[in-house]
Amino acid sequence: MSTGVIILIVMVAVVVVLGAAVLVLRARGAQGSRGLKRRFGPEYERAVARHDGDAKAAERELAQRVERHGGLRERALEPTDVERFEARWVAAQEHFVDAPREAVGEADRLLADLAQARGFPDGAQYEEQLSALSVHHAGHVHGYRHVHRVARAPGDGAGTEEMREAMIEGRALFEELVGTSNRRHAGRS
């Protein structure tokens, strides 16, 4: 074979390999986007909105969250801890009738304490705790965010209806963290 033919074959091979690499990277990027959308659900859309529609920036943020908190292993709660947290939640709900603002404040503290007991960052570092929760409980983290926002609203910033909605949304995360929703589903089997 002549040198010219060998060079031509090598160049064609390089172009084919580069083309295949580009296709693989594009497919992996698209899979990453779909994977992040599936993993984060509504939290994905919230991140995109926070980045003014820039999906790539939102995906970078979410991928960083996964990298930072994906290896976190949630600690199981002892049955006595579950009972204690459930009693606190029931008390907060009952307190809501007479003092909704204080009840929401207690729900906010309770969710922070519960998340910390499960192995998430300390509730005093709210943003970091929320970030970690979003990786592991993306479907319900908005409830904690709502409770926290309402609890921190100035004096008359949130009406009773908004506080009630926050408590309901927060309860979904509470149940997931204490395992109530899992026990309910197991009981139906």
Task: Give per-residue burial for 4-43: e unless 16+ CB within 10 Å, then b.
Answer: eeeeeeeeeeeeeeeeeeeeeeeeeeeeebeebbebbbeb
Residues 144-176: pLDDT tens digits? 999 999 999 886 678 899 999 999 999 999 999
Residues 106-158: pLDDT tens digits? 999 999 999 999 999 987 889 999 999 999 999 999 999 999 999 998 866 78
Q: CA nearest 4: which of 127, 12, 125? A: 12
pTM of the predicted model over 0.85:
no
pLDDT of residue 32: 57
pLDDT of residue 188: 41
Task: Give per-residue burial for 82-117: e unless 16+ CB within 10 Å, then b.
Answer: bebbeebbeebeebbeeebbebbbbbbbbbbebbbb
Residues 55-90: pLDDT tens digits? 999 999 999 999 989 898 999 999 999 999 999 999
pLDDT of residue 127: 92
Q: Where are the domains of the chain?
A: 3-69, 79-188
